[in-house]
Amino acid sequence: MFESDSEREGGSNRNQPDMRRRVFLTTLGAALGGAVLWSWRKPYAIVAAAKTEPGEVTIVQFSDAGARLDKVKIAKVVKSEAEWQKQLPSGVFEITRHADTEFAYSGKYWNLHDKGIYRCICCDNALFNSATKFDSGTGWPSFWEPIAQENVEEIHDTSFGMVRTAVACRRCDAHLGHVFEDGPRPTGQRFCMNSAALRFVKST
C-alpha cells in the first residue's frame, strides 16, 4: 500500500520530490499513527525472532477434548525463516515469527464462543481453553489464563515506546500476543491474542 501510494503521488509531483515525500509521510503518519513506526521497527523484530535455538522445554500436553495429560520434557520446534515461511500463510508468518499484530475484529476467533481448546498454529502446543475465554471488547480473542503456565512464555517487550508483556509459545517461540493486568477475575489478567496465531479445536 505504501509503495503504490507513493508511486502514484510521484507521478503528479516529480518536480518536488522532497515536499511530496514530506507531505506523504505527514499525511500517512496522521492517518495511521503507529503503523509507520511499526514499519520502520520491523527489522528489529526480525532479529529478535531469529533467536530460537535448539533445546528442551517442559510443557503440559492436552488431548483435543481438553483433558490434561502428561507434563513432558520435549524438544523445541526450531525452523529456519524459509521453513516457517513455507509452512505458514504470509499473514500468519508475519504475526507469529515477526511479532506483527492482526487488525482488531479481523481475526476468526474474537467472537467465537464454541467449547474447545486453542493450539499453536505453528507447532500444535496447547495454549488456551475456551472455558477461560471472555469478551474483552477489543476485537482480539481474550483469555484470563493460559491452559497451562508451562506452555507459554512471557517476555518483557518495550517496542513502540510501550512497556508490555509479550506472550509466546513455549515450544516454538511463536509470538501470540500480549498479556495485560486489566482482565476479569479470578486472575485479573487479559491474554490478548492474535486469532492468526491459534488453531481452534472444537470439543465434540
Catalytic positions: 192
Determine, following the binding rule CB under 5 A, whether residue 117 of this chain makes contact with Zn ion: no
Q: 97: which 3 cell numbers?
A: 515469527
Within 167-186, the residues that bind Zn ion by CB under 5 A are 169, 171-172, 174
DSSP structure class, residue 15: T
Determine, following the binding rule CB under 5 A, whether residue 92 of this chain makes contact with Zn ion: no
Residue type, 120: C
Burial 153-181 (b: 16+ CB within 10 A, else e): bebebeeeeeebebbbbbbbbbbbbbbbe
Give the integer Cα–Cα distance in Å for 57 and 75.
6
Q: Tell me which stretch binds Zn ion (CB under 5 A): 39-47, 86-94, 121-129, 132-140.
A: 121-129
Determine, following the binding rule CB under 5 A, whether residue 197 of this chain makes contact with Zn ion: no
Q: 89: which 3 cell numbers?
A: 500463510
Determine, following the binding rule CB under 5 A, whether residue 99 of this chain makes contact with Zn ion: no
Which of residues 77 and 192 has its CB atom nearest to Zn ion in the complex? 77
- DSSP for 115-149 reads SEEEEETTT--EEEEGGGEE--SSSS-EESS-S-G
Given candidates 123, 126, 168, 198, which one binds Zn ion under the rule CB under 5 A?
Answer: 123
The CA distances from residue 107 to 135, 139, 141, in Å, are: 14, 8, 8
We find the least distance from the C-beta atom of residue 121 to Zn ion, in angstroms, to be 8
Determine, following the binding rule CB under 5 A, whether residue 59 of this chain makes contact with Zn ion: no
Determine, following the binding rule CB under 5 A, whether residue 122 of this chain makes contact with Zn ion: yes
Given candidates 88, 93, 125, 152, which one binds Zn ion under the rule CB under 5 A?
Answer: 125
Q: Tell me which stretch binds Zn ion (CB under 5 A): 22-30, 117-125, 132-140, 190-198.
A: 117-125
Within 130-169, the residues that bind Zn ion by CB under 5 A are 169
Give the integer Cα–Cα distance in Å for 188 and 159.
24
Q: Tell me which stretch binds Zn ion (CB under 5 A): 35-43, 60-68, 116-124, 160-168.
A: 116-124
User: What is the contact surface with Zn ion in residues (CB under 5 A)?
Assistant: 120, 122-123, 125, 169, 171-172, 174
